Amino acid sequence: MPVPPITLTTDFGTSDWFVGTMKAVILRLNPKAVIIDLTHGIPPGDIRAGAFALAASCRFAPKGTIHLAVVDPGVGSERKAIVVQTADYFFVSPDNGVLSWALVNEKIKAIHRLENKTYFLHPVSQTFHGRDLFSPVAAHLSLGLPAQKLGPKQSDFVHLPWPELQRSSNSVKGEVIYLDRFGNGITNIAASDLHTLGQGDLQVSIGRKRLCGVASFYQAVPAGKPVAVVGSSGYLEIAVNSGNAAQKLGLKIGSPVVCCR
Report the interface residues with a copy of itself, using CB under 8 A: 2, 5, 7, 9, 12-21, 23-25, 27-28, 31-32, 34, 36-41, 44-45, 53-54, 56-57, 60-62, 65, 73-77, 125-128, 131-132, 180-182, 216-220, 229-232, 237, 242, 244
Q: Which is nearer to a copy of itself, 183 or 256 (CB)?
A: 183
Task: Report the candidate in 243, 239, 220, 219 with the shortest Cα–Cα distance to residue 228.
Answer: 239
Q: Which is nearer to a copy of itself, 121 or 147 (CB)?
A: 121
SS3 175: strand
CB 167, min distance to a copy of itself, A: 25
CB 182, min distance to a copy of itself, A: 5
Task: Report the candidate in 182, 175, 181 with the shortest Cα–Cα distance to residue 235.
Answer: 175
Q: Which is nearer to a copy of itself, 125 or 170 (CB)?
A: 125
Q: Which is nearer to a copy of itself, 74 or 256 (CB)?
A: 74
SS3 251: coil
Distance CA 77, CA 205 (A): 42
- Helices 18-29 and 135-142 cross at an angle (nearest 10°) of 30
CB 155, min distance to a copy of itself, A: 25
CB 70, min distance to a copy of itself, A: 13
CB 239, min distance to a copy of itself, A: 8
Q: Which is nearer to a copy of itself, 62 or 146 (CB)?
A: 62
Distance CA 8, CA 66 (A): 9
Q: Which is nearer to a copy of itself, 111 or 251 (CB)?
A: 251
Q: Which amino acid is at 257?
A: V
String of b and e for 134-158 (b: at least 16 CB within 10 Å)?
A: bbbbbbbbbeebebeebbeeeeebb
Q: Which is nearer to a copy of itself, 157 or 178 (CB)?
A: 178
Q: Give CA angle at 182 (181, 183), nearest 5°.
A: 90
Neighbours of 108 (CB within 10 A): 14
Strand ranges (E), 12-155: 35-39, 66-70, 81-86, 90-94, 108-113
Distance CA 127, CA 111 (A): 24
CB 9, min distance to a copy of itself, A: 8
Would you give the DSSP letter of residue 221? S
CB 148, min distance to a copy of itself, A: 26
User: Do residues 111 and 98 make contact, with C-beta atoms less than 8 angstroms apart?
Assistant: no
